Amino acid sequence: MAAPIPISNPTVGTGLQGVLLYLHPKADKASNIPNTTSGLGGMYTDNKSWAVGAFHDGNWADDTYRYRVFMGAGDFNLKFYGIGDDPIFSDNPISYRMRVEGMGGRLLRRLPGTQHWYAGVEYLFSSTELIFSPSNLNLDLPDLAATIRAAGLGLVASYDSTDDNYYPQHGRLFQLKWTDYGKHWGGDFEYAKLSTFYNHYLPLWSDTTLALRANLQTSSGDTPYFALPYLDMRGFARDRYRDINTFSLHAEARHKFSSRWGFVLFTASGWHAEEMSRLVKGDAVTSYGVGLRWQVAADKKMHLGVDIAFNKGENVTYVRLGEKF
């Protein structure tokens, strides 16, 4: 599948992305073995952000092994909103530029004697140049630049009983990942991150699915700001809410009103805090919205979608390939 796709989100702006995907055929179309996907892509937006990359997500030996490899590079013009609810930066964010090159790989194996449990390792490496521009705060300061390498080895455990990895309609998906970043893996900083999520897909009737998600991320105090956990929710920029700990709950109703067309209704609430004990004691960040879906291939449940999300009286439009979760 080759297509130009509009891109729109509050993190990088509005523009165009081009994708070239190969949706590998299945030997048994009724099998629950995940779809294998290979892809190339690139994007450019109106705030002069761009990115290019390639990936392959597959499995072998009758799904005994699952693997993923990727590499990419990009130049992004972003905004720094501070950590947590820092009022100085949240109302007057600092513009900054992030040039990044990265690569990674993951290998999981089904645990012996089980049907849905997998465990394995993941390696991530990135080299990032950060250029801060404090002039928008009326500070008479020059641009500040630094180059940072981040490299980590992670341990991954997952449970997957979903019926399809493009558009699951029933089953459960759980993942727990702990990643150690440090000089011994090729990076500049010593820190650790733990992330876990649980997705549950409930078929309400033949053409309607209720998708539920809980997502928790935590990191050590030495984590660089750009690697801190963030609230992965629609309705605001990805950098808007970063902290040592984040937790979010998501619900999405998905309905297909024809063989290739459908819509979604979604809502989410999230919390963030420096201390885990205070994580859900603060005010929740909430968003909600609606989206339209079109299945790009008759025999593959890969969807092109447009979502409109609302948060604090604002609305944000997203154009996406695939589901949010």
**pLDDT of amino acid 137:** 53
Q: 142: which residues sit within 8 A by CB, 6+ positions away?
A: none
Mean pLDDT along residues 249-264: 97
pLDDT in tens, 189-227: 899 999 999 999 999 988 999 999 999 999 997 898 889
Confidence (pTM): 0.89
Select from 47, 54, 49, 46 the least CA-distant residue to 19. 54
Average pLDDT over residues 136-140: 54
Report residue 60's pLDDT band, with 50, 70 and 90 as the boundaries.
very high
pLDDT for residue 141 is more than 80:
no
The torsion defined by the Cα of 123, 228, 70 and 2, in degrees rounded to 10, comes to 160
Q: What percent of the chain has pLDDT over 90?
A: 72
pLDDT at 30 over 80: no
If one counts every other C-beta atom within 10 angstroms of the C-beta of residue 283, the result is 7
* pLDDT at res. 221: 79
CATH number corresponding to 2-321: 2.40.160.50
pLDDT band at 87 (very low <50, low <70, confident <90, very high): low
- Cβ-Cβ contacts under 8 Å for 152 (sequence gap 6 or more): 123, 124, 179, 180, 181, 182, 185, 187, 193
- pLDDT per residue as tens digits for the range 160-179: 999 999 999 999 999 999 99
| Pairwise pLDDT comparison (149 vs 9), residue with the higher score | 149
Please report which confidence band the pLDDT of residue 255 belongs to, taking 50, 70 and 90 as the band edges. Answer: very high
What is the reported pLDDT for 196? 98
User: pLDDT at residue 254 above 90?
Assistant: yes
What confidence score (pLDDT) does residue 6 get? 85
- Whole-number pLDDT of residue 80: 87
Read off the pLDDT band of 257 (50, 70, 90): very high
| pLDDT tens per residue across span 94-123 | 889 999 999 999 999 999 999 999 999 999
**Rounded average pLDDT over 74-102:** 86
Q: Residue 213 has what pLDDT?
A: 98
The structural domains of the chain, with segments of one domain joined by +, span 2-321
Q: Reply yes or no on whether the pLDDT at 278 is more than 70.
A: yes
The mean per-residue pLDDT over the stretch 230-256 comes to 94
Mean pLDDT of the chain: 91
Residue type, 211: A
Instruction: State the pLDDT at residue 56.
Output: 98
Rounded Cα distance, 323 and 302, in Å: 8
Each residue's pLDDT tens digit, 281-309: 888 999 999 999 999 888 899 999 999 99
Q: In this structure, are residues 309 and 318 in contact, taking their beta carbons and an 8 Å threshold?
A: yes
| Percent of residues, the chain, with pLDDT higher than 70 | 95
Residue 242: is it exposed, middle or buried by C-beta count within 10 angstroms (0-12/13-18/19+)? buried
Grade residue 125 by pLDDT with cuts at 50, 70 and 90. very high
More confident call, 5 vs 59: 59
- Is residue 293 within 8 Å of 261, Cβ to Cβ? yes
Residue 128: pLDDT above 90?
A: yes
